[in-house]
Structure formats: structure tokens, C-alpha cells
Chains A and B, each alone.
Chain A
Amino acid sequence: MSEKSLHLRLGIFTSLFALFLVLFAIPTFVFAPSNVGNIILSPLFWPYVLAGLTGVIGLGLLASAFKPGANVPFEDEEGTAHPERAAPWLRLAALGVIMVLVMFGLPRLGMVWTAMLAFAACAFLFRTRHPIVALVCAVIVPLLLYAFFAHVAGVAIPQGNFVRLP
């Protein structure tokens, strides 16, 4: 990837995002009392200023994409074609699914059991060369953290609906 393609992509995205903020997000999701006389003191003022600056940066990125010499690829860039082809994308998707399942599991299974499953799933997703150690750590690390946070720090760690820990 070169600076040109990166800045072109970022510039288009940033400019569109600024437009989205100005035309839709700020009028819809920022509320201002009707009796604010001066725009500078309105809750809308700061978001509009930031949205405007975002638009300026977006245009700046677009302009810099066309500067001379911007087409040179980054020196430390990984090759665009990953040697494993689709596997990295599948691992990213799997990690995303693990995170969603963690959010789903925390109130139902409790933090300790969810963390154990997440640890083990991630270790195998990362293709660990030490599966036994990974499984042992998957059990011990969440239990140790539970012991610290629940019994030393006094945090009410979610216990879930099934197995409750002391």
C-alpha cells in the first residue's frame, strides 16, 4: 500500500463521515435546549466545530494523496497477499465471534467460566504449540483473577446462572 492509496481511502471516508455528522448525526443525536440564545454556548457548537475540522482533515488527506511522490509503497509494509490467503480473515472473524460470545456469556455463565472458555478458544485460535499448558492456564488465570478482584478488591464479579463460586 502506498501513501496515495491510504490517504485517498482515509480522505474519502473522513469527508463522508464529516458530512454524515453535519447532516444527520449531530441534528439527530445532539439535543440543545430551545432557549439557548448564543450558538457558542449551545451543546451543538462543539460537535459542529469538530465535524467541520474533520471535514478539513478529510480534504487535506485527499489533497495529500495527489502530492508528488505519494505513490511510493511504505517501506515496512507487509505484502498485500498474505501467505495463508483467507485464513487470517477467518481468524479475525472467529475472534470477533469470541468477543460477541463473551458479551453474551458474561451475564449468563458468569465471568470466570466465560473467561476460561475465551482463554482456551483464543489459545487454539492462535494455534498454540503448548495446548496442555494453554488449558491449564485457561483454568488457573481466570480463577486467580477472580480471587483477587472478588476477595481482595471487593468487586462483585458476575457469577452467572449455573455454577457459583465462593
Chain B
Amino acid sequence: MSLMDSLAAGLSLVGNVEAFFMLFCGLVIGVIGGAIPGLSATMAVALTLPFTFSMAPINGILLLLGVYKGGIFGGSIPAILIKTPGTPASSATILDGHPMAERGEAGRALGMALYASCTADAVSNLSLILFAGWLASFALNFGPPEFFALILFSLTIIAGVSGESLLRGALSALAGLLLATVGLDLVYGTNRFTFGDPNMMGGLNFIAVLIGLFAIPEIIAMAWNPVAHLGRTRALGKSKCTLADYLGSFKSIIRGSMIGVFLGSIPGIGAAPSAFLSYSEARRTSKNKANFGKGEIEGVAASEAGNNGVAGATLIPLLALGVPGDVITAIIIGAFMVHGLQPGPMMFILNVDIIYGLFIGLIVSSVFLLLVGSVAIRGFKFVADVPKRILMPGVLVLCIYGVYAVNNNIFDVGVMFVMGWVGYIMMRNRIPAAPFLIAFILGPLLEDNFRQSMLMSGSDPLILFRGPITWFFWLLTAITVFAITRSTLRKRVPLS
């Protein structure tokens, strides 16, 4: 199929009001979800997922992608106005955004955050369109040993960048891998940790696990401290972001977008490290270096470009290799699966219309984000005023309905509650939840590809090193392990 044919097929899928309406709704939900501290873009995507079950696949996925992109931008609004990042990715925005708000320049900071976000989003989407197809055609040569090496690399990097402690991140990932073994064995069909319960033979429901891990702990945390969310909101002020401001920060925006694209396309890194790297690079090269941290608009631009540059790029490994780029794309994989789609290289052959439909939708999403974001900046007061102690019971009810709707099974609701308490205990013990979820998704793929490789080779482990592609991923894994070990050891030096 030629490029024009593929584009036409994609356009035939999304060339209707419903698809764009869903994308628009997704952006609105995402911006609101990201703007409410404690709700986060991840939770917004997880809670929207059950509503996509009855939709056409392209509409459902566009809705979720809208929530994702809206959520990443939305997180910057409370970061600037109340010094509380709506998403972890917005943490770097606080550094200069909130000092600007304290000076009465919140409107200017938010305007810059929006323009930088939209620019980075467009750059990221273009990179997705350029690179995903190329990577997918390359990945068509992959067999089980290559996929095993790739997934192992993905897991290594996830464990390495999962918060303040490598060991706690690895513990979380191992717990996810262990939980993924529940169900019937992939080769022999025997029971593993099913306790004789037929509900567990198919494994634990992915959506129940993810909603349990990401939404329920917030509700439990609200029970622990119902007033933790109360804070002071800054006014927007009269100053606005001008064209001169935008052009003055343009270099940092483009650099931040590129950093976002690069880090986003590597599975597991996510938006927060990208935002901080973009911010530190902007500070290192800026003429106004001394103003960074005191309310420098270029700092806001760099951090927002860094975190939004990730949004499209995380879809590169998702669409081309079937490996989630971060925790939100791990949830979006769920939407693909629910609709009977398997992301990966074969999707570029079997479902090329959906792929190109998504590309078209993503390009439009940058324009929609500009519109929705402009309104959201002015409307944040109302979002911030939603009483959290009424919102959270609503989230609980939504979780119950959403998780039940996946399989019409009350057992899944129980799994969600149990996982919620597990997630809360992890939160209290500073164990990150993201590696758990990603390992839970990648675990069966890792084991399946390992055992297929062993079956192919008659249990000869050398098949896992059979050619340049596997060597490449093993080399990347070794480099990552080395880098993680070195940075962990370096962290210890100042302490001793």
C-alpha cells in the first residue's frame, strides 16, 4: 500500500465529526484531570478507558490519546498557580512557573507553558510519523529471541529510572512480573497460582490491576488525610505571554522538544526526566542563567517543551514494537487489546488504516490543545474549586463501574480493591507503582518469547544471542545496567 493509499485509508476512518469530537473531549478531560492535583494524567487515562469499550477502536484510542496529551499540559496549571504539580512531569515547571505567579505573572507563565507544550507536541507527533513506520518495518525481522532481548532491555531501563531508589524500583518490577505468572501456563496449560478459582485461570485482569494501582491508592490516601490537598491558588495577573517571549525562548523549546522525542522514544524513561534534562540544558546555555529558579520564562518553556515532547514519541515503541514507552502508553495498550488490536510491527500491515488515522488525529490534537488550553487557563479556578472530598467518592464509583464493565465480572472489582491496598502500601513505603504495571504487561511477553526461543533451539540458550539485532539489545541492556550501577554508586559518595 502506498503512502497516499495509507493516508486515504486513515482519513476514511477519522474523517468524521465523531472522531474529532472524541479527540476534543479527550483533551478537555485530560486538561481537567491533569489540573486537579492528586488526580494526574495517568489516573485520568485509566478512568476514561472503560468508556471506550463501546466505541469504534479509532475513536476510543483518540479519546485516550487526547486525555494523555491534555493531562500532560494540564499538570502545568496547578504547578504554576498552587505550586503543586498535577502530574510528576510538571515538577520542573514549578521551579520558575510558581515564582512568576508570585510576582503576578501567572498568566504569562501559563501562556508560555501552553505555547511551548503545543510546539513540542507538534514536533513529537511529526517524529512519531517519521520514525514509527521505519522502526516497524525493521521490527518485522524480529523473532522470539529478538523480542526477548528487546523486552529485557525495556525492563532494565524501567527498573533503572523508577524513582529515587533502584532497589525499590526493581522490587516493584519483580512484584509485577510475579503477579503476571498467575493463570494458566502459556505452553502446557497447567495452573499457576490460581488456587483452583476459575476467575484466575485467565490471569488477573489488566485494567483491574492498573486502576487498582493508580486510582484506588489516592482514595485511600484521602481517608488517611482528608485535608492534605488544601492549598492557596494564585491569581492569573494581567501580564500575558507575547510573541517576543515565545521567540526569545524558541531555541529552548525546540531543544526541549528534541530531548523529549529522544527520551520518549526509549521505553520507560517518561516525561519527568525529560522535563528536568530540558530545563537543565536551557539553564546551562541561557543568557539569563542567573534568573533560573527565580521566575525565568525560558525555564517554564524548556520544562514544558521537555515533558510534552515525550507525548508523541512514547507512541513510537508502542506502535512499532508493541512495547509501552511509559506508564500511560501501558494503559493505552489496554485499549488496543480490548478492541482486539495488537500493537507492534504487524499492525502496520494489518491495521494500517488505524495507524494513519491515529497520525492524522495526533496532528489535529496539537491545534485542539491550543484551543482547549487557552480556555483551561482561565477556567482553572473552577477546576481547583471542585471539592476533592466529593470528587474522590465519585472516582471510587467510576472505578467500580469501569472495572466491572471490562468482563462483566464482580471478581475484577475485588482484584481492583486488593490491588488498591497493595498500591497504597507501596506508596507509603516509597515503592513506585509504574515499574509494577509495566512489568505486569511485559512479563508474559518476556516469558512467552523466552520459552518460544527455547522451543525453537531445543533449549540452547545461545539462540538468545543469534544475530546483530539481539547483540544490539544485549549491548544496550549492558550499557544501561552499567550506567544505572555507576549513578547509584555516585549517589552514595556524598553520603559517606
Which positions in A face B, CB cutoff 8 Å?
3, 6-7, 9-10, 14, 21, 25, 29-33, 36, 38, 40-41, 43, 46-47, 50-51, 53-54, 57, 60-61, 64, 67-70, 72, 74, 82, 88, 91-92, 94-96, 99, 102-103, 106-107, 111, 114-115, 118-120, 122-123, 125-130, 133-134, 137-138, 141-142, 145-146, 148-149, 152-158
Decide if A154 touches B54 in the complex (CB within 8 Å).
Answer: yes
Given A53-B174, A57-B171, CB of A141 within 8 Å of CB of B397: yes
- A126 in contact with B54 given A53-B174, A111-B401 (CB within 8 Å): no
Q: Which 9 A-B pairs have the closest CB atoms?
A: A69-B495, A153-B54, A122-B393, A43-B185, A126-B389, A31-B190, A68-B496, A128-B389, A91-B223
Contact of B190 with A32 in the complex, beta carbons under 8 Å:
yes
CB distance from B183 to the nearest CB of A (A): 11
Is the beta-carbon distance between A41 and B187 smaller than 8 angstroms? yes
Q: List A contacts of B495 (CB < 8 A).
A: 67-70, 72
List B residues at the A interface (Cβ < 8 Å).
50-51, 53-54, 165, 167-168, 170-171, 174, 177-178, 181, 185, 187-188, 190-195, 219-220, 222-226, 387, 389-390, 392-394, 396-398, 400-401, 404-405, 408, 410, 413-414, 417, 420-421, 429-431, 447, 450-451, 454-455, 459, 492, 495-496
In whole Å, how far is A71's beta carbon from the nearest beta carbon of chain B?
Answer: 10
Q: A70-B495, A153-B54 are in contact. List 6 more A-B contacts (CB 8 A).
A: A46-B447, A51-B178, A68-B496, A118-B400, A119-B397, A130-B389
Asked if B410 and A158 make an inter-chain contact with CB atoms under 8 angstroms apart, the answer reads yes
Q: How far is the CA of A154 from the CA of B187 in the complex (A)?
A: 35
A33 neighbours in B (Cβ, 8 Å): 188, 190
Q: Are A106 and B413 in contact (CB under 8 A)?
A: yes
What separation, in Å, do the CA atoms of A57 and B190 have in the docked complex? Answer: 28
17 contacts between A and B (CB under 8 A): A29-B192, A32-B188, A41-B455, A43-B185, A47-B178, A47-B181, A47-B193, A50-B174, A57-B167, A57-B174, A61-B171, A91-B224, A95-B219, A111-B401, A114-B400, A145-B397, A156-B408
- CB-CB under 8 A from A47, the residues of chain B are 178, 181, 192-193
Residues of A within 8 A of B224 (CB): 88, 91-92
- Cα–Cα distance between A106 and B191 once the two chains are bound (Å): 28
Would you call A142 and B397 a contact (CB within 8 A)? yes
Chain B binding surface, main DSSP class: helix
CB distance from A56 to the nearest CB of B (A): 9
Kindly provide the distance from the CB of B163 to the nearest chain A CB, expressed in whole angstroms: 12
Nearest residue in A to B414 (C-beta to C-beta)? Answer: A103
Contact B410 A122 (CB under 8 A): no
Contact between chains at B413 and A43 (CB < 8 Å)? no
A57, B165: Cα distance in complex, Å:
12
CA distance A47 to B171 in the complex (A): 15
Nearest chain B residue, comparing its CB with the CB of A35:
B188
A32 to nearest B CB, angstroms? 6
Per the bound structure, the CA–CA distance linking A110 and B211 in Å amounts to 21
Inter-chain contact B190/A60, CB cutoff 8 Å = no
Contact flag A50-B178 (CB < 8 Å), given A30-B192, A127-B226: yes
In the complex, what distance in Å separates the CA atom of A99 from the CA atom of B413?
10
Q: Which residues of B contact A14 (CB under 8 A)?
A: 171
Pick the residue among B223, B400, B429 that contacts A92 (CB under 8 A).
B223
Q: Whose C-beta in chain A lies nearest to the C-beta of B405?
A: A155
Q: Collect the chain A residues with CB atoms within 8 Å of residue B190's CB.
A: 30-33, 43
* Residue contact B396 to A153, C-beta cutoff 8 Å: no
Which residues of A lie under 8 Å from residue B429 when comparing CB positions? 6, 9-10
Measured CB to CB, the closest approach of chain B to A154, in angstroms, equals 6
